[in-house]
Amino acid sequence: MPAIVIVGAQWGDEGKGKATDHLGSRVDYVVKFNGGNNAGHTVVIGDEKYALHLLPSGILTPGCTPVIGNGVVVDLEVLFREIDGLEARGTDTSRLKVSSNAHVIADYNRTLDKVAERFLGSRKIGTTGRGIGPTYADKMNRIGIRIQDLFDEKILTQKVEGALELKGQVLTKVYNRRAPSVDQTVEELLAHADRLAPYVCDTTLLLGQALDRGETVLLEAGQATLLDVDHGTYPFVTSSSATAGGACTGSGIPPTRIDQVIAIVKAYTTRVGEGPFPTELHDESGDFLRNTGFEFGTTTGRPRRCGWYDAVIARYAARVNGVTDFVLTKLDVLTGLEEIPVCVAYDVDGERYEEMPANQSAFHHAVPIYEYFPGWSEDISGARTLEDLPANARAYVEALEGMSGARMSVVGVGPEREQAVVLHPLR
Ligand code: IMP
C-alpha cells in the first residue's frame, strides 16, 4: 500500500503536475509507465523552470525514486540530454531506475514516423515525430530493441539486422530514403550503454518490494484517456496505453495493488494533432482560451485546439479508468467570461447520446448539446476553499462534479503549486 495512478481525462496537457504537487513529498516512487519523449511537462520549483519530456517528474523531488517502466519507449539521446541538463543545475539524477524490458527508439523509427506522416498527407495523425508509433509497432511485431539488448553486442546486432531487413526496404523502396546500416545503428545504440548500465534494473521487482514495505508508488500516465490506443479516438491516438489499465501492464504492478486513480481534467478542453473534437471552437472564444490558458505545446510548440468542457468525455474517462478523484485544473482561465457552455450530451443525426458513442463515425458527427452557466469576473487565484470562490464559480465546479462521474477533489486556480482549492486531500 499504496499505489496511486494519475491519468489525463481528455486529450492530454491537462496539467498533471498539479496532482503530483499535491501528493508532494509523501511519494517514494514516481513511475512513468507509457509513452516516451512525446510528452512534455514544465515543472516550476522556486525560480527554476524545468522542461521534461522523458524523465518522470519525481526526478526533481529529493528522496523520491523516479522509474522508467517497461511500458515506456526510450530515446537514449534525449534521456542523457535531460540528465545532463539537470546535473548541470545541481540536481542529483543517480536515483533514476530504468526497466531492462523498456524498448529503445532507434534512429530508423524516428525517420519512419516523420516520412509516414508526410506520406499520409491529409490523413496524417499529427504525431510528435519522435518515433513513438513505429517503436511500439516493432514491440508488437516482436522486432523491437530493448534496454537489456544494449548489454550484449551479439544479440543487439542480430536484432538490429532482423529489424532492418524489412524496415530498410520500406525506407528505401517506399519512402525513397537512405536506410542506416546495421553497424551504424548498433554503434549509435551502444554509444550510451556504459552510461546507462548503473540505472538499469528489474523495476517490477523493485516496485513490488517497495509496495510490500508500505512505500507509496505513484504511476503517472503520459498523454491521456482519449489518446489511449484502445480507448481513445483511434486512429487519432498515441500508440500506448495511457489509461489506468496501462499502469499495470507498463509497470508490472498488478490491478489488485492499485488503491486510487486520480484523473486530471481541465475546466475546458484542448487537443493537439488531428482527430475529432466535438466542442472545438473556431471563433474568438477559442482564441480566448488559447491565449489566456497559454495553450501551446511543450514538446512541439504547436498551438492547441481549444473548446468547452465536455462532460460526456469526463464520464467516459471516469468509467474506463475507475476514477476515484478528479483534479480540475485551470478554472482561473475561465474568469471574465459572461457565460460558460458545458457539453452535457451529443446530438448525432437527431439522436441524443449521453455516453461516448461506440462508433467512430457517430463521434465524428457528434454535435454538442450545451448547458450554459453564468460566469464570474472576480480574481479567483487566491481562493483556497470552496467558500473563497464566487458563487458562480462554485456552481460551475459543483455542476461539473455532478455530471462527470467522480468527485472533484482539487481545483486549480493558478499555475503555482499552492494555487488550489482542496475539497478532499488526495492523501
Ligand atoms: P505520437 O504520440 O507522437 O505518436 O502522436 C500521436 C498523437 O498523440 C498526436 O495527435 C499527438 O499530438 C498526441 N500526443 C502525443 N503526446 C502528447 C502529449 O503529451 N500531449 C498531448 N498530445 C499528445
The angle at the Cα of 30, spanning 219 to 53, to the nearest 5 degrees, equals: 95
Specify the length of the chain in residues.
Answer: 427
H or E stretch covering 261? strand 258-266
Rounded CA separation 95/142 (Å): 30
- Tell how far CA 256 is from the center of its chain: 23
CB 9 within 8 A of CB 314: yes
Of 21, 22, 28, 41, which one is the catalytic site residue?
41
Instruction: Give dist(CA 234, CA 361) in Å, integer.
Output: 11
User: For residue 95, what is the domain's CATH number?
Assistant: 3.40.440.10
Give the model confidence (pLDDT) of 123-175 as tens digits: 999 999 999 999 999 999 999 999 999 999 999 999 999 999 999 999 999 99
Q: How far is it, in rounded angstroms, from Cα 203 to Cα 209? A: 10
| Pair (111, 95) in one structural domain | no
Judgement on whether residues 14 and 87 belong to the same structural domain of the protein: yes
Q: Answer whether residue 52 is part of any domain.
A: yes
Determine how β-strand 367-374 pairs with β-strand 339-348.
antiparallel
Q: Are 312 and 346 in contact (CB under 8 A)?
A: yes
Nearest ligand 1 atom to alpha carbon 302: 12
**Ligand 1 midpoint to CA 343 (Å):** 24
Q: How many domains does the chain have?
A: 3
In this predicted structure, which of 54-68, 245-259, 351-365 has the lowest mean pLDDT? 54-68
The number of beta carbons lying within 10 Å of the beta carbon of residue 424 is 10
Q: Are residues 110 and 169 in the same domain?
A: yes
pLDDT at position 1, please?
A: 54
**pLDDT value, residue 68:** 98
Please say whether the beta carbons of 3 and 256 come within 8 A: no
Q: How far apart are CA 56 and CA 102, in angstroms?
A: 14
Give the distance from CA 32 to its chain's centroid. Answer: 9
What does the pLDDT look like over 207-242, one tens digit per residue? Answer: 999 999 999 999 999 999 999 999 999 999 999 999
137, 90: one domain: no
42 and 28 fall within a common domain: yes
**pTM as predicted:** 0.95
Whether 12 is in a domain gets the answer yes
- CATH number for the domain harbouring residue 164: 1.10.300.10
Q: Given pLDDT bands bounded at 50, 70 and 90, which one contains residue 20?
A: confident
Instruction: Say yes or no: CB of residue 132 within 6 Å of ligand 1.
Output: yes
Asked if residue 427 is part of any domain, the answer here is: no
- Grid cell, residue 22, equals 499535491
User: Catalytic site residue 13?
Assistant: yes
> What confidence score (pLDDT) does residue 375 get?
98
Domain's final residue, options 242, 261, 280? 261
Residue 41 appears among annotated catalytic residues: yes
Is the domain of 300 the same as that of 399? yes
Domain range for 72 is 3-99+199-261
Q: Do residues 231 and 336 share a domain? A: no
Distance from C-alpha of 155 to C-alpha of 373, rounded to nearest angstrom: 61
Query: Does residue 39 line the site of ligand 1, with CB under 6 A?
Result: yes
Mean pLDDT in residue range 336-344: 98
The reply to whether 155 and 298 lie within a common domain is no
**88: Cβ contacts below 8 Å, ≥ 6 apart:** none
Instruction: Write down which residue in 194, 215, 247 finishes a domain.
Output: 194
Ligand 1 atom 19: the closest Cα is on which residue?
39
Per DSSP, 385 falls in state: S
CB 223 less than 6 A from any atom of ligand 1:
yes
Nearest Cα to Cα of residue 56 among 251, 210, 245, 226: 251
**Of 36-45, 87-96, 320-329, 342-351, which range is least confident?**
36-45
Query: Are residues 142 and 241 located together in one domain of the fold?
Result: no
Please answer whether residues 5 and 261 qualify as being in contact, where contact means their C-beta atoms are separated by less than 8 angstroms. Answer: yes
Q: Where a domain ends, among 261, 284, 311? A: 261
- Per-residue b/e over 202-217, b at no fewer than 16 CB within 10 Å? ebbebbbebbeeebbb
Separation of alpha carbons 27 and 206, rounded Å = 15
Cell of 11: 486529450
The CATH number covering residue 351 comes to: 3.90.170.10
Based on the fold, state whether residues 87 and 165 are members of the same structural domain: no
Q: Are residues 287 and 413 in the same domain?
A: yes
Domain identity same for 228 and 327: no
